[in-house]
Structure 1
Amino acid sequence: MAGFAGIATEKLTDENYENWKECLKSYFIANDLWDVVNGVESEQNCKEWVRKNAMALHAIQISCKGDTMSKLRGNETANYWWNVLAKKTGIKSPIESAEIMQLEENKCSDLFKDVERGNWARTRTFLEESTDAIRQNITLLGEKVLHLAVISKQTKILENLLEYSTEEDLEVKNEMGYTAFTIAAIHGLKDMVEIMLRKKSNLVILKDGDGLIPIVRASFYSSREMVRYLYRKTPPYVLSPENPDRSGATLLNCLISDELYDVASHLLEKYPVLAFVEDLYRNRGIRLLARKRFGFPGGNRDSFWEQWLYSCE
């Protein structure tokens, strides 16, 4: 990865946005990252997309000042950060400017710092003085205090916050379309996932902004142990081939791509027809399995796959 000097001539400020933007764009184009940043390249090829997204995200991070990025932590999409920074530092309408100024100057900035630092005493005082604070945006990405507790990996803060929250608060999504639960699932934060499930058990079937349930979103980010955990918690009917949202087929294909064969084989034993169902991106599990036939030497632990695949021919 190139150093900062190879990306932009100077770090982003409110005054140099246009020059900064053009430098970054040139860097992205030269390194085949522009389609990801511009939102053209989808997550269909999830492994390659995640790699490119991480590279682009790192380039954005190291070319911004710390104070610029402080309220953008936790977002996983370079495209979204790119657009938010355009709104935050680029040319804005009077309405946009007023909204950002109000957001940055209100008392929620103190709440942001207290949660991030794990200061429950100050967080509790704030919540008791402002009863609706649990539902206010405290980042430019529309994240609430529950999102921030997860992003900051403050498990105890999250546990305490749930005493001030309703079940509906756990369903609130940020501008990425993610609940606090989905963010925890993506990052493999099992303790936090368990805490939230005790409050609201059906979070495992709540879809994000792209229509993906948490186990499928976690599988996109190769959060392997979280996928295994959520598989035990997700009701089987949600993954059924009869479910029109194709969660089961999409999950199966991610499992095959990630070589999580223990979970994939269990899912296929339950719903064999899933291998022939198109997922959200028009892929079929049977095709992915066919490409992996070289990995099936006779007599080893993958013999189930070999027998199953050949029986379909």
Structure 2
Amino acid sequence: MAEACVYNDRVIEPLTEENSGEWFNLVKNYLIVHHLWRVMIDGTTPHQDDPSWRQKNEEALRILRISCSPQTRHLIEGVAEANAAWRILRHNFAHKPSVTVNAAGAGSLDVGILYNAICANNWEAAEEFLDRHPSALTAKVTAANGTPLHVAALFGHVELVEELVRLADPEFLEIVDDYGSTPLAIAASTGVVEIAKCMLNKNRNILDTPDLRYHLPVALAIGAGQKEMGRFLYEETPLEVLKPQNGYLGSRLLRACFEAGELDIALRLLEQCEDIIFAADHTNWTPVAGIAIMPSAVESGSHQLGFWKRWIYHCE
């Protein structure tokens, strides 16, 4: 029986074409929870001489390898960087070989050609395909039903994203994949701020579009350790959507901040919206509960310790 990694007491089946959508999502979550996702999105320079980065890179590679069957594992044998191995696996498993496009007379269209062009950051080939098949711009080209823009955002191809956004109507940026993720949500996790800025110049509604786990793009960025992206998106996200009377989204953001140690943003949100301290998310977790169990993190992570203590004492 093939070896597999354990994720939250669940065993992931070895990667296959049939389970690739769930596999990539669960493995990504596992890496995020264990603070390994950064090596999947950062290049090897200037990190390659950093012992801590190399250790995390090796651990992420190990997780990928033991999550694959022997038949799949050979694809990443000899690959030294986890982010390169991740892209190889996505290239081989995370696209659909064909879809039916509704354009008159188009019939069945092999969107794998477009997918491969985007993965390779080859705008010339992608543009040629889209010129011949304009409807492919909104085609679902991944196993999780992501669009070409989802793929370009995942790989961090800034110029290619800009070209796709230029061709698209604003509503195109609101299309979600099977996990409720917009292209901005994907970009938030990969951390390329230029991509987020490009998308927001086209459509700002995507700032307050949560995924199926009630995570806004800003929460996804913070959860993935993308501090620059998280702070940029926090500045852009309307405060109104984070208020407790409008749902779980503010509490989910605070939870992501606490779990990632991003206390500056947490502090700002609590200052701007004090009643959020008691607001439960969809799992009944509350910010006050999060603060109560993190005194050591508060003391070491906040330059305004008195403010945090005031909240704790106020809630006792």
Is the pair's TM-score, using the shorter chain for normalization, greater than 0.5?
yes
Correspondence for 2:67 among 56, 60, 78: 60
* TM-aligned CA deviation for residue 200 of structure 1: 0.5
1:121-270 map, 5 Å: 121-244=124-247, 246-270=248-272
Quote the RMSD (CA, aligned, Å): 3.6
Change (3 A) 1:48 1:186: closer
Is 1:286 matched up with 2:288? yes
Q: What is the DSSP-based 3-state SS (H/G/I as helix, E as strand, rest coil) of the residue aligned with 1:73?
A: helix
Q: Is the 8 A contact 1:185 1:215 kept in 2?
A: yes
Correspondence for 2:10 among 12, 35, 46: 35
The aligned counterpart of 1:16 is: none
Q: Is the 8 A contact 2:214 2:252 kept in 1?
A: no
Q: Deviation per CA, 1:270-294: give whole Å up to 9, x if none.
A: 2222111112221111122122234
Q: Is the 8 A contact 1:37 1:56 kept in 2?
A: no
AA at the equivalent of 2:251: A
- The whole-number CA distance in structure 1 between the counterparts of 2:30 and 2:304 is 25
Change (3 A) 1:33 1:58: farther
Q: Is the 8 A contact 2:156 2:190 kept in 1?
A: no
* TM-aligned CA deviation for residue 311 of structure 1: 3.3
The aligned counterpart of 1:113 is: 116
User: Which stretches in structure 2 are left out of the alignment for 5+ residues?
Assistant: 14-21, 38-59, 77-85, 101-107
Q: What is the DSSP-based 3-state SS (H/G/I as helix, E as strand, rest coil) of the residue aligned with 1:275?
A: helix
Q: What is the DSSP-based 3-state SS (H/G/I as helix, E as strand, rest coil) of the residue aligned with 1:207?
A: coil
AA at the equivalent of 1:50: V
Q: Is the 8 A contact 1:72 1:140 kept in 2?
A: no
- The whole-number CA distance in structure 2 between the counterparts of 1:153 and 1:290 is 38
Change (3 A) 1:127 1:264: same
Q: Is the 8 A contact 2:292 2:312 kept in 1?
A: yes
Q: Is the 8 A contact 2:97 2:110 kept in 1?
A: no
- The whole-number CA distance in structure 2 between the counterparts of 1:70 and 1:253 is 29
* TM-aligned CA deviation for residue 227 of structure 1: 1.7
* TM-aligned CA deviation for residue 144 of structure 1: 1.6
Q: Is the 8 A contact 1:190 1:226 kept in 2?
A: yes
Change (3 A) 1:308 1:138: closer
The aligned counterpart of 1:94 is: none
Report the TM-score when normalising by structure 1: 0.71
Change (3 A) 1:32 1:239: closer
- Higher Rg: 1
- The whole-number CA distance in structure 2 between the counterparts of 1:119 and 1:233 is 31
Correspondence for 1:50 among 33, 46, 67: 33
Change (3 A) 1:61 1:243: same
Q: What is the DSSP-based 3-state SS (H/G/I as helix, E as strand, rest coil) of the residue aligned with 1:194?
A: helix
Q: What is the DSSP-based 3-state SS (H/G/I as helix, E as strand, rest coil) of the residue aligned with 2:241?
A: helix
Q: What is the DSSP-based 3-state SS (H/G/I as helix, E as strand, rest coil) of the residue aligned with 1:138?
A: coil
Mean CA deviation greater in 211-220 or 248-257: 211-220
Change (3 A) 1:58 1:302: farther
The aligned counterpart of 1:23 is: 2
Is 1:73 matched up with 2:76? no
AA at the equivalent of 2:291: L
AA at the equivalent of 1:73: R
User: Which stretches in structure 1 are left out of the alignment for 5+ residues?
Assistant: 1-21, 75-80, 89-99
Report the TM-score when normalising by structure 2: 0.70
Q: Deviation per CA, 1:221-275: give whole Å up to 9, x if none.
A: 333222211111110110101112x111121122123222211111111222211
Change (3 A) 1:32 1:240: closer
- Percent identity reads 24
Change (3 A) 1:47 1:103: closer
Correspondence for 1:304 among 303, 307, 314: 307
* TM-aligned CA deviation for residue 145 of structure 1: 1.1
